[in-house]
Amino acid sequence: MNTKEFHITVYSINRFIVVFIMMVIILFSLLDYIQWSQNIALSVIVDALVVLPLSFYLAKLAGSAKVKIVFTEEAFFHIWKKMFIFSSEKNIKIPWNIVDNYVFEPERFFDSFIINLTTHRKYKITRLSLFSVSDDFDEFCLQFPVLANRYRNQNTLEEKTQKIEQGESFYASKEFRWIFYVMVAMFVPVVILLIISPNSKVNWGVLMVIASALAFYGIMIKANGKK
């Protein structure tokens, strides 16, 4: 079979979050230090139009890299075209015979495609899903199940083929369900307390963000439930 290549922009969630938080803290601290304006409305506008977008842009730069994934008869290769800042990862070679299953896991801001290996390790690529990126991530996720099985079993008798199938998502696990239930159990009393005590200092905006997150994860649990 001919080789197949995919060119993908990948993201490190940890790098992205750490840099974003650091830049927000640094920029807010800098603005407070120079005390450039006493106008609250103007400060909010600057936060919305300068601090947050700049922090996001720098986090995006620090948390992104470019890779080329190549399918061959013996294995698939992860080849770095552009590494993460301050990193020195090696290229990766994964033989088809140790590929166990695959899982696609969407997040609120990131999507991940995970390939579980029989060695109890995993290969994972992640993209930022907030905006459209012109790369081969979607094509890779779509074609992997077909191409992986074709490459793996091309020289194998039909009765001895080992199919690479879709695995169980973390959202379908008992561990995640318990985490979700605990989060809901902690969230509901806070909302009730806020309704009972209108003068409470709890921020409704923060609660709405948490509520939207719980709604998203609830949908993910339902979508990945046993059928």
Q: What is the pLDDT of residue 158?
A: 55
Residues 153 and 86 in one domain: yes
Residues 60 and 161 in one domain: yes
Q: What is the pLDDT of residue 206?
A: 58
Residues 51 and 131 in one domain: yes
Give the separation between CA 217 and CA 177, rounded to whole angstroms.
9
Residues 141 and 217 in one domain: no
Q: What is the pLDDT of residue 227?
A: 44
Residues 1 and 32 in one domain: yes
Task: Show the low-confidence residues of the chain (pLDDT under 50).
Answer: 227
DSSP E strand boundaries for 25-143: 64-71, 75-82, 92-95, 99-106, 110-117, 122-128
For the chain, what is the domain count? 2
Residues 215 and 154 in one domain: no
Long-range contacts of the stretch 153-160 (C-beta < 8 A, 24+):
154/1, 154/73, 155/73
- Which of 151, 167, 183 represents a domain boundary (last residue)? 167
Residues 129 and 198 in one domain: no
Residues 163 and 176 in one domain: no
Residues 34 and 118 in one domain: yes
- Chain-centre distance of CA 173, in angstroms? 18
Residues 163 and 181 in one domain: no
Residues 79 and 24 in one domain: yes
Residue 202, domain extent: 172-223
Q: What is the pLDDT of residue 28?
A: 77
- Which of 147, 167, 187 represents a domain boundary (last residue)? 167
115: tokens are 């390939």
Q: What is the pLDDT of residue 115?
A: 96
Q: What is the pLDDT of residue 135?
A: 93
- Which of 138, 167, 196 represents a domain boundary (last residue)? 167
Residues 127 and 201 in one domain: no
